[in-house]
Amino acid sequence: MTTVKRTHEITLIPGDGIGPEVSGATVEILEAAGAATGVAFEWHRFAAGAEAFKQTGEYIPKALYDSIEEDRVALKGPVTTPIGGGFSSINVTLRQKFELFANFRPVKNLPGLKTRYPGLDIIIVRENMEDLYAGLEHVVVPGVVQALKIITEKGSTRIAKFAFDYARKHGRKKVHAIHKANIMKLSDGLFLSCCRKVHEGFSEINYHEHIVDNTCMQLVMNPYQYDILLTENLYGDILSDLCSAFVGGLGLVPGANLGTECAIFEAVHGSAPDIAGKGLANPTALLQSAVLMLHHLNEGETAERVQAAIEQVYAEGKTLTKDVGGTSGTRAFTDSVLAALQSPTATAV
């Protein structure tokens, strides 16, 4: 075993439903990969959502807020927020609390899975705090509810700069700003104005603008025309789910919420209470989110080792979970990834 060189303190939110199963598998794999590369983790575990409410009477306990603020990095499994009844989304609340302005979702095929769009590689960069998700709603008169769409120059400029910075750093060639400015001329118009201004400093990157409804059609017809999708909050939420279907579904696609001080990495699928505790859950989405976390922590060697192991298991196709056409459960999949970590493919990073 390699001597520990670095230890990272991470706030872990296992979640509820299948959350504890997928987070448990992810932690086990990260610790095994870290043991081989000199990286250790100190996990600070906290409940959130329905599980936290049962324990503390709060959906997000103050101790959880304090831990994220101190650790500055969190890994989050799926949590359940009641629909309706005035409860705020746990995800939205955490993003706003820590000003996690950038939602980052790479959509990329895993080897071995048969999909309609092989070799797909799209990045979705979504503004994460404004738009209709600001949660500013009120009753005008009985039977009439108004929701306010908030778009600011600061928020639009900040997310546009994030997208173009990422494109330049990682050699991406195109950025499409997605909008509905033909109808919402002021709000979406401001978003586009900010995107255009930011692009002036990134002239080597091709810049395009597509209306959101046309984008949905274009994605289904030919998603390969896109490289980075730069979106407002609501459009990005919808498009990221649409794009996940191209590569096998939400159970595979990772997510990161990034700010200037803190970052939360999460599986974006639901808590699936119908299969909770049955050993059927697929840890891939949270596991790939953890790979993004490792890159964020500048642990590239460990990140690449984990990603190579995941891809080896999918390429072999022997121990995949039922949601992707396999017959295995969480334990068998996890054991296969752990075994793959020891193979030459995973170690030669």
Q: Which residue in 180, 197, 227, 335 is the catalytic one? A: 180
Q: What gap in Å lies between CA 216 and CA 220, rounded to an integer?
A: 6
Residue 185 C-alpha from the chain's centroid: 30
Q: Which residue in 213, 274, 278, 322 is the catalytic one? A: 213
Examine the residue annotation and report whether 133 is marked as an active-site residue of this protein.
yes
Examine the residue annotation and report whether 180 is marked as an active-site residue of this protein.
yes
Whole-number Cα distances in Å, 303 to 55, 158, 343: 34, 27, 15
- From edge to edge, which strands make up the β-sheet containing 263-267? 39-45, 6-13, 73-76, 263-267, 254-258, 102-108, 121-127, 228-231, 174-179, 206-211
Q: Which residue in 188, 237, 314, 323 is the catalytic one? A: 237
Q: 313 is written with which tokens?
A: 């298991």
Examine the residue annotation and report whether 197 is marked as an active-site residue of this protein.
no
Q: Which residue in 133, 207, 226, 314 is the catalytic one? A: 133
Tally the residues of the chain.
349
Amino acid letter, 32: A
Are residues 258 and 101 in contact, defined by beta-carbon separation less than 8 angstroms?
Answer: yes
Examine the residue annotation and report whether 65 is marked as an active-site residue of this protein.
no
Residues acting as catalytic residues: 133, 180, 213, 237
